Amino acid sequence: MTGHQSTSKLASRGLKPTAVLAANRAHGERIRYLGGCRCDACRRANTDYERARVKARNEGDWNGIVPAFRARTHLIALSKINVGRRAIADATDIGNSILHEIKTGRRKNIRARTERKILAVTVEMAAPRAMTDASDTWKLLNELLEKGYKKYQIAQKLGYSKSLQFKRDLITVHNAFKVRRLFEKLKATGFADAKPAALPKNTTSPKRGMLVHRMED
């Protein structure tokens, strides 16, 4: 869009063509390159940008705009096997209304990360009460325990009022999923809250949940 016609079209809509925006910028900013400058600094700025984009894409963390149809197809397939939108919203942290817009086709484009999250929702979630081998779940739980988390802490984070009551051999798909999600979440924070905070001065805790303050005489 560098021709005279498109420039005046943009101008008539109150939009500034790139060349105008670029004119006020220093050389070495990518917008200046987009505005047409091919000096060394501007070319380098553009190359750096392209390189970073390719790198991010290769690392799978690219978050540009993609058409929504793949996510839409996946959402429709999931709904056919009775994976509800709420379960998907829980699993992906994507808002219900956005999921709805994608599924109905009202939203045509989405972020690449949103797409990846939706495509990652698996058929397993179709039957949350189905039982599955618990050994993978226990591997994760044991790792959390080794990091210093207490069983009651983990239970709390999973939303259970009591302590962990998982069996060793079998676990529901839903609980296995919840544990994995919690594990990933804690891992992302570097297991920062694994060690319980130190007790206040002059305080002992003879029993979990009980604090005894020693009086000074």
The minimum distance between CB 28 and Zn ion, in angstroms, equals 7
The minimum distance between CB 194 and Zn ion, in angstroms, equals 51
Q: How far apart are CA 193 and CA 46, in angstroms?
A: 42
Binding segment (CB under 5 A) for Zn ion, from list 1-9, 14-22, 34-42, 77-85: 34-42
Total residues contacting Zn ion (rule CB under 5 A)?
5
Please, what is the angle between helix 69-80 and helix 112-119, to 10°? Answer: 20
Binding status of residue 43 toward Zn ion by CB under 5 A: no
8 A C-beta contact, residue 140 and residue 166: no
8 A C-beta contact, residue 143 and residue 186: no
Residues 6+ apart with CB under 8 A from 6: 17
Binding status of residue 26 toward Zn ion by CB under 5 A: no
Binding status of residue 37 toward Zn ion by CB under 5 A: yes
Q: How far apart are CA 7 and CA 209, in angstroms?
A: 69
The minimum distance between CB 20 and Zn ion, in angstroms, equals 15
**Residue number, 28 or 128, with CB nearest to Zn ion:** 28
The minimum distance between CB 25 and Zn ion, in angstroms, equals 9
Q: Which residues bind Zn ion (CB under 5 A)?
A: 27, 32, 37, 39, 42
